[in-house]
């Protein structure tokens, strides 16, 4: 009886040893289930369980068995160590490498810089160029994405988010949806609109929508920072006395490109964005302004200036009367 028990014990140990060796091989061996392995973008969301992650890994061909994955998590004490994030995982990675990678919380991102004054069309072009989203899909989502109430104005516009996507350099995770990207950029502007800034806006008897719209005009008109506050002051003065803003930038927005010299015909284009024909602000922002243009609106000085024109280097010259304005234009651009 003793010998039999001893033999059974040895057999069990042998089986356990074989199982351990097999488990170790499975744990360390590269995944060979895929004939032509590729790097797969994989997302771990917050509060996902190890079992859910294992099922997703299996569906994407990264692991050969979700059951083995769950067992490996338990044996290595990694059940609660997997990190939320975006990963780029080779399909031929070993189980050990997959688990180690998912514990690092590494984000696979692409750096994108959105300059001040970009329109939503230009942002869409940049995202497509960087391989983050197709232009068509991004713009289609932008038509209906309105996360904050202050983005609604009195008139109909194509994109409520126009003007409310903060220019900045972003590290955007791969596999982000257009809505993810819009949420990130709109959220950044919302964060920049601090309680103090919102109080300043209200003190000027402006809504946030009006404030961003005016800042967008300043952004597109100004090339040099020193000109921004005075341009803002001129626009505010014109709004105060009921004079059309006559912003060349608004005409360029209608045209869809930055035409250097506008014709009389250009200023007569029938559009609600034509600030030569229509008094007051355009229906919405014409670009996404940066903080300097927003600060220029908030800190615009009192002025008697009503006109300005840019010289060939982009510096603006300000005048009080139309006659003075014509003289400056003649001195800059006259033959």
| DSSP assignment string, 56-89 | HHHHTTS-S-HHHHHHHHHHTT-TTT---EEEEE
Task: Quote the longest CA-to-CA distance of the chain.
Answer: 119
pLDDT of residue 262: 80
What percent of the chain is modeled with pLDDT above 70? 87
Beta-bridge partners for 98 = none
Confidence of residue 130 (pLDDT cuts 50, 70, 90): confident
The two beta strands, 169-173 and 307-310, are unpaired
- Give the chain's mean pLDDT: 86
Asked whether 230 and 301 are in contact (CB, 8 A), the reply is yes
The tens digit of pLDDT for each residue in 271-312 reads 999 999 999 999 999 999 999 999 999 999 999 999 998 888
Confidence of residue 17 (pLDDT cuts 50, 70, 90): low
Q: How many other CB atoms are found less than 10 A from the CB of residue 145?
A: 19
CA 112 to CA 118: how far, in whole Å?
A: 13
The tens digit of pLDDT for each residue in 171-229 reads 888 878 999 999 999 999 999 999 999 999 999 999 999 999 999 999 999 999 999 99
28-102 CATH, one of 3.40.50.2300, 3.30.200.20, 3.30.1490.480, 3.50.50.60: 3.30.1490.480
Asked whether 179 and 165 are in contact (CB, 8 A), the reply is no
Alpha-carbon dihedral sign for residues 143, 146, 147, 151: positive
Confidence of residue 4 (pLDDT cuts 50, 70, 90): low
Asked whether 235 and 214 are in contact (CB, 8 A), the reply is yes
Q: Pick the range with the lowest mean pLDDT from 51-60, 75-84, 178-187.
A: 75-84
In three-state secondary structure terms, 42 is: strand
Q: Assess whether the region 28-102 and the region 109-192 belong to the same CATH fold.
A: yes
pLDDT of residue 106: 60
pLDDT of residue 31: 58
Query: Which tokens in the block code for residue 38?
Result: 């590729």
Asked whether 307 and 324 are in contact (CB, 8 A), the reply is yes
pLDDT of residue 22: 47
Burial 294-315 (b: 16+ CB within 10 A, else e): bbbbbebeeeebbbbbbeeeee
Domain boundaries, the chain: 28-102, 109-192, 195-333
Q: Does 301 or 268 have the greater pLDDT score?
A: 301
Alpha-carbon dihedral sign for residues 252, 257, 258, 259: negative
Confidence of residue 110 (pLDDT cuts 50, 70, 90): confident
109-192 CATH, one of 1.10.260, 2.60.40, 2.30.30, 3.30.1490: 3.30.1490
The tens digit of pLDDT for each residue in 228-245 reads 999 999 999 999 999 999
State CA 53 to chain mean position distance.
Answer: 28
């Amino acid at each position: 009886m003793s010998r039999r028990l001893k033999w059974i014990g040895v057999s069990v140990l042998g089986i356990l040893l074989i199982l351990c060796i097999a488990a170790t091989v499975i744990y360390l061996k590269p995944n060979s289930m895929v004939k032509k392995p590729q790097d797969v973008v994989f997302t771990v969301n917050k509060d996902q369980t190890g079992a859910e992650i294992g099922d997703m890994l299996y569906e994407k061909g990264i692991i050969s068995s979700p059951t083995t994955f769950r067992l490996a998590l338990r044996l290595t004490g990694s059940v609660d160590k997997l990190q939320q994030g975006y990963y780029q995982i080779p399909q031929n990675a070993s189980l050990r490498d997959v688990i180690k990678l998912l514990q690092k919380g590494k984000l696979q991102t692409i750096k994108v810089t959105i300059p001040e004054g970009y329109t939503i069309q230009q942002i869409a072009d940049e995202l497509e160029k960087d391989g983050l989203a197709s232009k068509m899909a991004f713009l289609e989502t932008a038509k209906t994405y309105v996360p904050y109430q202050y983005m609604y104005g009195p008139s109909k516009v194509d994109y409520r988010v126009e003007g409310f996507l903060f220019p900045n350099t972003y590290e955007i995770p791969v596999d982000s949806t257009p809505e993810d990207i819009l949420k990130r950029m709109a959220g950044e502007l919302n964060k920049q609109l601090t309680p103090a800034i919102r109080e300043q806006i209200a003190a000027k008897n402006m809504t946030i929508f009006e404030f961003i719209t005016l800042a967008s005009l300043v952004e597109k008109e100004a090339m040099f920072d020193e000109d921004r506050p005075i341009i803002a002051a001129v626009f505010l003065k014109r709004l105060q006395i009921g004079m059309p803003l006559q912003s060349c930038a608004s005409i360029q927005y209608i045209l869809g490109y930055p035409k250097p010299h506008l014709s009389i015909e250009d200023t007569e284009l029938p559009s609600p964005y034509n600030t030569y024909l229509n008094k007051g602000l355009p229906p919405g922002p014409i670009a996404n302004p940066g903080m300097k243009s927003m600060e220029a609106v908030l800190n615009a000085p009192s002025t008697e200036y009503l006109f300005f024109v840019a010289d060939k280097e982009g510096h603006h010259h300000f005048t009080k009367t139309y006659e003075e304005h014509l003289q400056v234009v003649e001195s800059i651009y006259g033959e």
